Structure 1
Amino acid sequence: MIPWTYQSSGSSSDSGQDSNFQYYQPNPSLILNSQTQCIATINSPNAYTSSMVLSGKFLFTGSSDNQICLWRRNLFSTELGHESSPVCNMGVPGKGVVKCLVVSTDKIFSAHQDHKIRVWRIDMDERENGKFTHLATLPKLSDRAMKFLVPKNHVEIRRHKKATWVHHVDSVSSLALSNDESLLYSVSWDKTIKIWRTHDFRCLESISKAHDDAINAVAISLDGYVYTGSADKRIKVWRKDSEEMKHYEVSILEGHNYGINALALSTDECQLYSGDSEGAIVVWQRVNDGDLVVAGALHGHSKSILCLAVANDLVCSGSADKTVKVWKPFEGLNSCLVTLEGHNGPVKCLAVANDQYQSSDSVSSCLIYSGGLDFEIKVWQVLVPNV
């Protein structure tokens, strides 16, 4: 396995690399022996897995047939992988894909292709069998009714058609929770960002035309910065004004030549990773004044980056090229440690198990969960040398 080292690029090449970028290029003189194995494969005959998130001992998955499932992670083993069934599952009202899932202390939020956000509670019995309870669909009927009665709350969504500003009018593509879990942020292909209060599910704010094209991803730092990535090739940084209690645009990050599909913050939040439709992952480094600047780009995928996930010092990327790549900092730079091959379709979603990242003197181990358009969920055990 050949890692990638940081190297300045010269002029633009035939591959379309921007001369303003610095790239990680192969360094044959440095080889790390990473070991990996697929320890479980779950087949879904009816739908592909479109979203996933880990929470404690469980894995939540959303699918293209509007199902949300809860899996007990200890059932994913070589022996049980093909026979495991979810602890519980829920067929969601409406049609379309479950685009994103986030879990708070006591709730699960799901984003849907039918323009809605749904809120759930999981009730577990003493045998750890679960049951989904539907708490709300956002925007709530009461919220819609209050806004509907006041004309100024109506916005034009297309020619000769209006809706209240609490509505998303296209697929809700991504969700994120504030650090204290009091606010839920949703972004949509309708180019808007909406902020919801989680205790009563009220829409507090809508940023209309936040981008010039569909918004595909959102990430939030512990200190309150909100990052949104769009098909308009830009990342925007937002911050809440403590006096007006409204969000304002802090800066625009420009460095991609193609639309942005995924965002992820490093564990220490000093780097932001953004993946685009050409297969590049741009690494943004936070400098002393808090601004983010381009530190480099990770190249190795041959098609679109569809998802990113971070755990401790590992960065995982899933792509339309049917592979998952695992990246690890080496001498301050990110090296491609291993490529996970086994999916027969694009890799749509990823999750990395933080709590199973266990280190010895020479080797670290973690579990990576991947969902593909091949209707399979795979679980990978990756052993990484400590360098």
Structure 2
Amino acid sequence: MRNDEGGTMVMEQQTGLHSRPNMGTLFQQSEPPSFSDDDDFHNRKSNASLSSPRYSTTTSGDGEVSPYMMSPWNSQPSSWHLQQHQPCPSENDFGQDGLIGSIVKEEGHIYSLAASGDMLYTGTDSKNIRVWKNLKEFSGFKAKSGLVKAIIILDDRVFTGHQDGKIRAWKASPTNPTVYKKFGSFPAIGHVIKSSVKPKNYVEVRRKCSVLRIKHFDAVSCLSLNEEQGLLYSGSWDKTLKVWRISDFKCMESIDGAHDDAINSVVDGFSGLVFTGSADGTVKSWYRELQEKGTKHSMVQQLLKQENAVTALAVSRESDTLYCGSSDGLVNFWEHTNRGLAHGGVLRGHKVAVLCMATAGKLVFSGSADKSICVWRREEGGIHACLSVLTGHTGPLKCLAVEEDHQMSTETNRKWIVYSGSLDKSVKVWRVSEHAPTLNEIKETYHIH
């Protein structure tokens, strides 16, 4: 959508603190990208996931049609036009509603988004955070520097992670909800001053260069919230995992060298566990202990070690399952058991990097550099069926958010609104039914061979 004044937003050039491998290296199996962009993952060859058990009912290597080709949404590009809403497909159209809207603002690639009720927040490489209400532009605010790589919503507060290594906190004005102002940053300036007087609070990041341990010195790539404990987790390209107390912006703990390469994803999990995924190809679980003067996180399990970069994590609290997307296009998952986390299988719906993931109810969503979203449903026994492949973006998927559609949901069939942000500078909005037929069922019904 364009603003009331008309015209096109000018995209500002963003420079990071440290360069990262070019995204184009991940598209060697797909169409050559029409743009190049630095990103937070590495292209590695797979060695671990190929031998994993396969629990997907629709992705096999024995001649079966792939989910992408079977998807009813792959028949033709979306006909959605800017600033218009087209009617949704009927309920008997594979039990799903498909694409219901699209938002475009010509000001940069979409790197992050978060949804809360009828509000949507989007972050781009133009440093802007846009606020949308019912898919209409409502407000916006801008950081002085730093591509917006992560957004977290907590009540009336917005927390953003940036490529300049900073985490900023914003709040809407109580008298004018369209005006957002920054009311703090992590760590608070008082904590920085207090910490800076003691030499032991510094860590050497390169030869003859030291920084405060409580500050990130490279891009903040991911954020996760534990609302119950009032904690915010941040992962960074500086290889550290930091734990923040939201009430006063204090760094409660810094796990230096949590990984051997950039941390690409962090997610607060279940049973006191926190999960991190890295470009070093590992997924780690950390157990949280609350102490009198802070927190202590201890690594309890390395769930995955492979050559391919781990690019996205998501947790289903409904089934206590962890999902992990990698640069080889695979999605591994682990299930919580009495003996800890056990590997449950691999979902094979993409041939190139999975860049973002989300869960909702029984559904799992994986967004990829192949410009599509695979929708999976967890069945009894941990089996996952591919319901559909959502297509329409013209650039890689970078971020996903899901909210329940309370107006359309019923007791027997929950429906979800899915927001997808892409490097094509657009956000697309989809409605997905939890009890849609699987692609195999569609194949049998319509005699697709």
User: Residues 71 and 19 (structure 1 numbering): CA distance in 2 closer, same or farther, change over 3 Å?
Assistant: same
Post-superposition Cα deviations, 1:119-154, rounded to whole Å, max 9, x if no partner, equal 11123558xx42112111222222221111111111
The equivalent position to 1:329 in structure 2, one of 365, 374, 378, is 378
User: Residues 34 and 278 (structure 1 numbering): CA distance in 2 closer, same or farther, change over 3 Å?
Assistant: farther
Q: Partner residue of 1:98?
A: 148
User: Residues 352 and 108 (structure 1 numbering): CA distance in 2 closer, same or farther, change over 3 Å?
Assistant: same
Q: Partner residue of 1:66?
A: 127
1:331-350 superposed matches below 5 A: 331-332=380-381, 333-350=383-400
1:44 aligns with 2:105: yes
Deviation at 1:176, TM superposition (A): 1.0
Deviation at 1:38, TM superposition (A): 1.5
Q: Partner residue of 1:80?
A: none
Q: Partner residue of 2:284?
A: 236
Matches of 1:305 and 1:146, distance apart in 2:
42
SS for the counterpart of 1:241 is strand
Post-superposition Cα deviations, 1:36-66, rounded to whole Å, max 9, x if no partner, equal 4311111121212111111122111111111
Please tell me the residue identity of whatever aligns with 1:214.
Answer: A
Deviation at 1:277, TM superposition (A): 0.5
1:374 aligns with 2:406: no
Post-superposition Cα deviations, 1:238-291, rounded to whole Å, max 9, x if no partner, equal 1223457422111111254411111111132521000000110001111123x1
User: Residues 338 and 34 (structure 1 numbering): CA distance in 2 closer, same or farther, change over 3 Å?
Assistant: farther
Q: Partner residue of 1:162?
A: 210
Structure possessing the higher relative contact order (Cα contacts under 8 Å, 6 or more residues apart): 2
Matches of 2:404 and 2:412, distance apart in 1:
18
The equivalent position to 2:50 in structure 1, one of 2, 6, 18, is 18
Matches of 2:256 and 2:47, distance apart in 1:
36
Contact kept, 8 Å, 2:171 with 2:182, in 1: the verdict is yes
Please tell me the residue identity of whatever aligns with 1:39.
Answer: I
1:264 aligns with 2:325: no
Q: Aligned Cα RMSD in Å? A: 2.5
Deviation at 1:236, TM superposition (A): 1.0
User: Residues 243 and 323 (structure 1 numbering): CA distance in 2 closer, same or farther, change over 3 Å?
Assistant: same
Deviation at 1:87, TM superposition (A): 0.9
The equivalent position to 1:275 in structure 2, one of 306, 322, 325, is 325
Contact kept, 8 Å, 1:357 with 1:367, in 2: the verdict is no
Matches of 1:267 and 1:230, distance apart in 2:
22
Matches of 1:99 and 1:130, distance apart in 2:
22
Matches of 2:107 and 2:405, distance apart in 1:
31
1:189 aligns with 2:240: no
1:316 aligns with 2:362: no
The equivalent position to 2:338 in structure 1, one of 288, 313, 326, is 288
SS for the counterpart of 2:51 is coil
Contact kept, 8 Å, 1:193 with 1:208, in 2: the verdict is yes
In the superposition, the TM-score normalised over structure 2's length comes to 0.75
The equivalent position to 2:195 in structure 1, one of 147, 150, 154, is 147
Matches of 2:412 and 2:190, distance apart in 1:
57
The equivalent position to 1:199 in structure 2, one of 232, 241, 247, is 247
Q: Partner residue of 1:7?
A: none
Contact kept, 8 Å, 1:124 with 1:130, in 2: the verdict is no
Matches of 2:350 and 2:271, distance apart in 1:
32
Contact kept, 8 Å, 2:111 with 2:398, in 1: the verdict is yes
1:299 aligns with 2:348: yes
Aligned length: 360
Q: Partner residue of 1:8?
A: none
Contact kept, 8 Å, 1:52 with 1:60, in 2: the verdict is yes
Please tell me the residue identity of whatever aligns with 1:202.
Answer: K
User: Residues 147 and 361 (structure 1 numbering): CA distance in 2 closer, same or farther, change over 3 Å?
Assistant: closer
Contact kept, 8 Å, 1:179 with 1:222, in 2: the verdict is no
Structure that is richer in strand per residue: 1
Unaligned 5+ runs, structure 1: 1-13, 77-83
Post-superposition Cα deviations, 1:99-123, rounded to whole Å, max 9, x if no partner, equal 1011112421100000000011123
Please tell me the residue identity of whatever aligns with 1:185.
Answer: Y
Q: Percent identity?
A: 37
Please tell me the residue identity of whatever aligns with 2:118.
Answer: K
Contact kept, 8 Å, 1:34 with 1:337, in 2: the verdict is no
Matches of 1:278 and 1:23, distance apart in 2:
17
1:116-127 superposed matches below 5 A: 116-123=166-173, 125=175
User: Residues 140 and 299 (structure 1 numbering): CA distance in 2 closer, same or farther, change over 3 Å?
Assistant: same
Comparing 264-273 with 151-160, which one deviates more in the overlay?
264-273
Contact kept, 8 Å, 1:287 with 1:293, in 2: the verdict is yes
Contact kept, 8 Å, 1:353 with 1:366, in 2: the verdict is yes
Please tell me the residue identity of whatever aligns with 1:166.
Answer: I
In the superposition, the TM-score normalised over structure 1's length comes to 0.86
User: Residues 150 and 364 (structure 1 numbering): CA distance in 2 closer, same or farther, change over 3 Å?
Assistant: closer
User: Residues 225 and 269 (structure 1 numbering): CA distance in 2 closer, same or farther, change over 3 Å?
Assistant: farther
Comparing 181-190 with 360-369, which one deviates more in the overlay?
360-369
Contact kept, 8 Å, 1:102 with 1:110, in 2: the verdict is yes
